Chain A
Amino acid sequence: MIKVLGVHKSFGSLEVLRGVSLTVAAGEVVVVLGPSGSGKSTLLRTINHLEKADRGFVAIDGDLIGYRRRAGKLHELKEREILKQRKDIGFVFQNFNLFPHLTALENVAEVADLASARHFLERVGLEDKASAYPRQLSGGQQQRVAIARALATRPKVVLFDEPTSALDPELVGEVLDVMRDLARTGTTMVVVTHEIGFAREVADRIVFIDGGVIVEEGAPDEVLDRPVHDRTRAFLSKVL
């Protein structure tokens, strides 16, 4: 369903991604682990074309993101068309990025009609906060609104970029609960996180990235309990 093929990305002289390929099946939950600076976030951002890959491609259900193939050539899409493609890809940011001048409901309704906006707020358990502004909500509640907003375009896949890293420890649980619920109901998810417990419990597959390449991937118990690679072991010994 999602196909990432040989993606390279450099910022100046710094090569952040050095040929990453990854396939995610429909309904699958893939958790991406790795030390900071390993390229996890950049990988997510190339999937929805917030960053344009220098080389390599991303396709969702066979549609190339950001390009169109015609007569053996790849044509860059215009921004308008890329924006349309992004409706298929939900994105949850580390810093929520809610629109501060809009209420919770208005944030979600920005990309959906009111009835479904209400439905998605209900889905994350915040129907009673519909008319609150982001500043009036706790970090955990803000992130749940952001998740509702990401779901509101009815995407084929939802990408989570360290969704709990900006939260106070006691607020992490409520956000993970919502994500757990999404995973259970068959949402296709790619999650960059440092929550190893969540990864073990929810992930169908764990991908370990270091130095811009996928070092190791497999089922949670394989990667977390019987890592093959030294770099995976070194990382896990620090975070477990």
Chain B
Amino acid sequence: MTSSGTLTPMSTKDDDLASSPVVPARYPWRWVGVAFVLVLAAQFVHGLVTNPAWDWPTFARYFTAQSILTAVGTTIVLTVLGTVLGFALGIVVAVLRMSKSPFLSAVGWTYIWAFRSIPLIVQLLFWFNISYLYSRLSLGIPFGPELVSFETIALISPMGAAVLGLALHQAAYAAEIVRSGVISVDRGQLEAAAALGIPRFRQFRRIVLPQAMRSILPNAANEVISLFKGTSVVSVMAIGELFYQVQVIYGRNARVVALLMVATVWYIILTTLLSIGQHHVERYFARGDRR
């Protein structure tokens, strides 16, 4: 009986041990916690339903109103353009920042420094008012003759200024996220790629980036979601995105709470969709991790 030493004296036979029923460990406090949270949630829902101040009829009237749907569309367009352009530029900036060339690295660093230093709202207002600073933009030889020139105000619409501002701002953050992903890739991977003579760009695209994506994605999803809600900042430029639109409406009818709820629910729905998308994309990039 080698095992008897750790058991109670009553059950020294292995047969007893094998036939003894197992009682699972119980956690009664979990149920107390569940009950507590359920009561709180029920109270909250009860309040939502019974308190007339939430004004659900107004909510229902506006939730799918044409003006709101158009505004949701604008918000989505701003998010998509900000994300796509921001991350495209962000990858470029990250590559610059990690370059072995001190010149390129300094360029990348400076970009990140500059655009992280300026508050988004200030930057947006700058782009919005760029035509006060430079009324004409022109292409030509530096300090020499102009070849073509444009009216700034015609070239950069308010929407254009918003996309520009969001993308440039996003790129600075995206660059750091991409960089953090790239430096998380094992050095051995780069050595193997170098030893195989794989060209640099291909190394980055085929070997480094797919592995970096694992740690880039959760951070990037955070950024996209925060950009999505951050588009509400663009309301300072009188662009008809979701938040601006509800402000306009409650400015007219004074149903502030109901309209804020309209915006809130739309933000929640779209963020949920983004989170589901994130889950699937992460699973795709984890494919080498399955057993």
Contact = CB atoms under 8 A, between A and B. Distances in A.
B43 interface: no
B191 A93 contact: yes
Contact of B196 (A79, A85, A100, A153): A153
B194 A99 contact: no
B288 A134 contact: yes
A165 to B, nearest CB: 14
B288 A100 contact: yes
B287 interface: yes
Interface in B95-142: none
Given A97-B188, A99-B189, A101-B211, A111 B196 contact: yes
A86 B195 CA distance: 6
Interface residues of B, number: 23
B199 A100 contact: no
Interface string A90-106: 11010101111110000
Interface in B156-215: 186, 188-189, 191-200, 206-207, 210-211
Interface residues of A, number: 29
A135 interface: yes
| Interface of B, helix, strand, loop or mixed by DSSP | helix
B16 interface: no
Contacts of B194: 50, 83, 86
Contacts of B210: 101
A72 B191 CA distance: 32
Contact of A91 (B186, B195, B211): B195
A101 B283 CA distance: 12
Contact of B206 (A98, A100, A110, A150): A110
12 contacts: A48-B195, A79-B200, A80-B199, A86-B195, A91-B192, A91-B195, A91-B196, A93-B192, A100-B289, A134-B288, A135-B291, A136-B291
A-B residue pairs, 6 tightest by C-beta: A97-B192, A86-B197, A91-B195, A101-B288, A97-B188, A87-B197
Interface of B: 186, 188-189, 191-200, 206-207, 210-211, 285, 287-291
Interface of A: 48, 50, 79-80, 83-87, 89-91, 93, 95, 97-102, 110-111, 133-136, 149-150, 153
Given A101-B287, A150-B195, A150-B196, 17 more contacts: A48-B195, A80-B200, A83-B194, A83-B197, A83-B198, A83-B199, A83-B200, A84-B197, A86-B196, A87-B197, A99-B193, A99-B211, A101-B211, A111-B198, A133-B289, A135-B288, A136-B290
